[in-house]
Amino acid sequence: MVPQFLIDIKDFISQPWPWWVGGLMIALIMFILLFFGKEFGLSANLRIMCAADGAGDFADFFKFDWQSQGWNLMVALGAMFGGYLAAHYFLSPDGDIAHVSNATIESLKGLGFQFDDGKVPLVPDFYSWESLFSLRGLIIIVLGGFLVGFGARYAGGCTSGHAISGLSALQLPSLIAVIGFFLGGLFMTHLIFPILF
């Protein structure tokens, strides 16, 4: 028998989290990493993985002591476990859905998205192996991945490194990067999506 208080904790975690809980938890995670003497930044893992794969033979950018960065790979591995746990043990009572606003549902319908009984799934259906065989799926998964990997390293960080760590330390370069993130995101969402969808 599982003790009742454990079930209560599980039910408590399983509710959809309000934004302020998410924000405070992210700040806590940043603090824990700082306390361990590390910096919060997930995209650095892409460089580490390239280096570990022997990319140093092609560009000096990948010649660095990547073994000392193994801790960051462990954060990424943990994030995968966390995703597994959330999806399998902490699902919301109303299922695996994104509680987006009605205005967003209308905008999505305008682009041709169909949702059963108005429920928006957490992950869109184009994230499947089959969609790799469609042009749109291929663009989103392969080009999207490429742009994220290229841009994050060019800018010297991603959402965690610049928007969270950098802005928390009041770094001006991070503010410029975050402005760039938003300009790129707005350009894609408002000018490219009407063509793509």
Partner 1 sequence: MKISKYIFVGILLGITLYKSEAVSWFRIFEMFHFQSFHMYGIIFTAIIAGVGIVQVIKRTHLKSTEGQEIIFHPKDKSIPRYLIGGFIFGLGWALAGVCPGPMFILLGSGYTVFIVFLAAAMFGTFSYGLLRKKLPH
CA dist 144 and 140 (Å) reads 5
By CB under 8 A, is residue 5 in contact with partner 1?
no
Closer Cβ to partner 1, 7 or 96, answer by number:
96
- The DSSP 8-state label assigned to residue 115 in this structure reads -
Interface positions, 85-114, toward partner 1 (CB under 8 A): 85-88, 90, 98-101, 103-104, 107-108
Closer Cβ to partner 1, 1 or 129, answer by number:
129
Closest contact distance (angstroms) between CB of 187 and partner 1 is 7
| Ramachandran category for residue 177: left, alpha or beta (phi over 0 → left; psi -120 to 50 → alpha) | alpha
By CB under 8 A, is residue 156 in contact with partner 1?
yes
By CB under 8 A, is residue 194 in contact with partner 1?
no
CA dist 161 and 140 (Å) reads 23
By CB under 8 A, is residue 69 in contact with partner 1?
no
Interface positions, 116-145, toward partner 1 (CB under 8 A): 120-124, 127-129, 131-132, 139-145
CA dist 21 and 19 (Å) reads 5
* Contact (CB, 8 A) for 76 and 182: no
